[in-house]
Amino acid sequence: MRPLRPPLIALWLLERFGDRYRKEALAGDFIEQFSARGSRTWVWIQVLRAIALHFSSFVGESTDSDPGQPPEESPPRQRRLSKYWREYRGALAFLLFFAGFRSAWADWVYVPTGSMNPTILEGDRLLIDKHVYGLRVPFSLVHLTQGENPRRGDIVTLDSPADGTLLLKRVIAVPGDVVTLDQEHLIVNGVPAEYEPGDSRELRELVAATRRSDPEVLRESGAVPAHDVLLLPRRRAPSTYGPVVVPKELYFVLGDNRDNSADSRYIGLIPRRNIVGKATRILFSLDPDRHGLPRAGRLFEPVR
């Protein structure tokens, strides 16, 4: 068996986390192990024990196992940290669980822009189902389960591949679809969308700045599930796109406000892993034109 040659990382960890007593005691033990031609397993056991004792004394749970650092002789700063840990660890655990739940299971988002008018308005608070498209590792885009695939017509939250901004858009085309925009007219897999006048009452819900742009509401159906879209004749936006075959694991998304939306016409097709969740319900809505007063008729309304 080769003589013991402690790995440098193990010695660094021991130096970093081991207390003075343990490092002095282990000095003699190392000499004996060298003479006995010991194994590296023994080294790592000692390192892990040192790390465990370091953190247990930090939280005030196992300081009696460290004869060189009794609790009553701990520095004042360490005693304060230990006290804070005992008092607030429950709250910290709750906050971590709550943040993880919002990151991976369900969340609510505030809508600051009108890119999804008239379906979603500025000031809406939306409930987002995040696990429907697969459970993810909290605070990441790594999926633990496959979940459902986004479907045409779903309103989804996504991380923009351009700058990482969280966006809210409608899925228009899924992998394998052929999508075209021809002068604002949508065509999916050769099926042209049909348009008819939408509900003009929705115009009254728009913020004043949008109403001054002479908006027009149309009902779009056929190529995708029926929903209302908004056109702003005074604004210039790309009205022609494609035809493009949507590749595997990519999606084509648009805003319902076709003339005021940073969507796939600008930022490109959206990778499957960037789609975070599905908007399911409007929890409530605060009108920015009325100093944040609640909007009537938008309490716990399902997203269309």
Give the helix ranges, DSSP H, for 72-175.
Answer: 76-104
Residue 192 has which token pair? 């042209």
Residue 199 has which token pair? 């509900």
| Phi, psi torsion values for 250, nearest 5 degrees | -125, 155
Beta carbons of 171 and 156 less than 8 angstroms apart: yes
Beta carbons of 244 and 179 less than 8 angstroms apart: yes
DSSP 22-74: HHHHHHHHHHHHHHTT--HHHHHHHHHHHHHHHHHHHTTSSGGG-TTS-GGGS
- Number of neighbouring beta carbons within 10 Å of residue 220: 24
Beta carbons of 282 and 298 less than 8 angstroms apart: yes
Looking at 57, 115, 261, 264, which residue is catalytic? 115
Looking at 82, 130, 169, 264, which residue is catalytic? 169
Beta carbons of 251 and 179 less than 8 angstroms apart: no
Q: Is 115 considered catalytic here?
A: yes
Kindly list the catalytic residues.
115, 169
